[in-house]
Amino acid sequence: MGHDIDATRHRRIPAIALFLVKRFATFVITLLAASLVVFAVLDLLPGNVAQVMLGESATPEAVAALTSKLGLDQPAWQRYGHWLQGLATLQLGDSYSYSAPVTELIAQRLVVTVPLALMAMVLTTTIALVVGIYAASHHNRAGDIGVMAVSQVGIAIPNFWFAILLVHLFAVKLGWISAGDFAGWTEEEGGGLWDGLRSLLLPSISLAVVQAAILARFTRSAVLDVLREDFVRTARAKGLGTRAVLWRHVLRNAFVPVLTVMGLQFATLVTGTIVVEQVFSLPGLGRLIFQAISNRDVVLVQNIVMLLAAVVIAINFVVDVLYAVIDPRLKLHAA
């Protein structure tokens, strides 16, 4: 018996390793495909990017000068190769409108956008799991019906409108916080850790509430699905209490489908930060991308879009890997 288990385990490890290698290969191919799309839309389709950046009224001499400066006179495949090389080495050249290195500009903004997305995700998960599990364990009772009704409204609320309402309540009416802007993470910037977190609290709440409503409903239905399984009935028949069944058996199994939705939601939150940063005037990636659009800085837009697409692809990759590691059924299937 012990020998059988060992043998199965030995077979499983390469199966999972094979899955991971395959999934990593898909991840790399997807990244390359995304870079091709971004390059095609922002470099090939417009014809001459220099003309787009300078506008219709630009003189041919100015267009020719920028064309040569940006290397747009090189063949497309060469430009694409050059850009890929830049992405790999993080040498993306200078921004046309800021006259500063693109990598540096993006890195400066990530210190706002990344903590915002992470805070929003932590809040989303905490609210959704607590509320979803509560609703499922009170199925068809007042608490459950209340949660379902509130979450139905929550799903319908645009996050940027909720953000505006929060600004109105906490900044305009109560005057507890300033209506926007970011205090900074260090004292030299005029802020500190606490001030930085405080600046991101309302934006992360406005992002989290809508996503939590979606995730809470999903968690509830995932928990209810597991509660209907035979092994739960067996556990109850063994004499285990409701709480013990819930914590020991149900949640572990319900977590697998919930994780997939969480991954998708994290990707949504990353792009959602772009919108919410506008409401709170936060100096994150969102503000940079809109300034880049209004300055027609196509090179900067191209690199930020690529970064965001890469983050979404990477999140999906990580979720798939976690899924394979956590889900016992997937392991058996792979074996």
Query: Minimal distance in Å, beta carbon 176 to other proteins?
Result: 15
Helices then strands, each counted (H, E), the chain: 14, 0
Query: Minimal distance in Å, beta carbon 276 to other proteins?
Result: 10
Question: What is d(CA 286, CA 50) in angstroms, rounded to the nearest whole number?
Answer: 23
Residue 128, CA distances (Å) to 60, 204, 214, 256 in order: 57, 14, 8, 15
Query: Minimal distance in Å, beta carbon 33 to other proteins?
Result: 6
Question: What is d(CA 132, CA 148) in angstroms, rounded to the nearest whole number?
Answer: 9
Nearest CB to other proteins, comparing residues 133 and 163: 163
Copy the structure tokens of residue 312.
Answer: 């979404």
Query: Minimal distance in Å, beta carbon 8 to other proteins?
Result: 30
Nearest CB to other proteins, comparing residues 217 and 249: 217
Residue 265, CA distances (Å) to 28, 148, 170, 215, 239 in order: 22, 19, 26, 8, 37
Residue 94 DSSP class: B
Closest by CA position to 162, among listed 41, 62, 280: 280
Nearest CB to other proteins, comparing residues 11 and 168: 168
Nearest CB to other proteins, comparing residues 153 and 237: 153
Nearest CB to other proteins, comparing residues 115 and 263: 263
Contact 191, 184 (CB under 8 A): yes
Nearest CB to other proteins, comparing residues 144 and 191: 144
Q: For binding to other proteins (CB under 8 A), which residues are involved?
A: 30, 33-34, 37-38, 41-42, 45-46, 52, 152-153, 155-158, 160-161, 164-165, 167-168, 172, 179, 221, 225, 264, 267-268, 271, 274-275, 278-279, 289-290, 292-293, 296, 298, 301, 305, 308-310, 312-313, 316
Query: Minimal distance in Å, beta carbon 141 to other proteins?
Result: 16
> How far does CA 115 lie from the centroid of its chain?
11
Query: Minimal distance in Å, beta carbon 164 to other proteins?
Result: 5
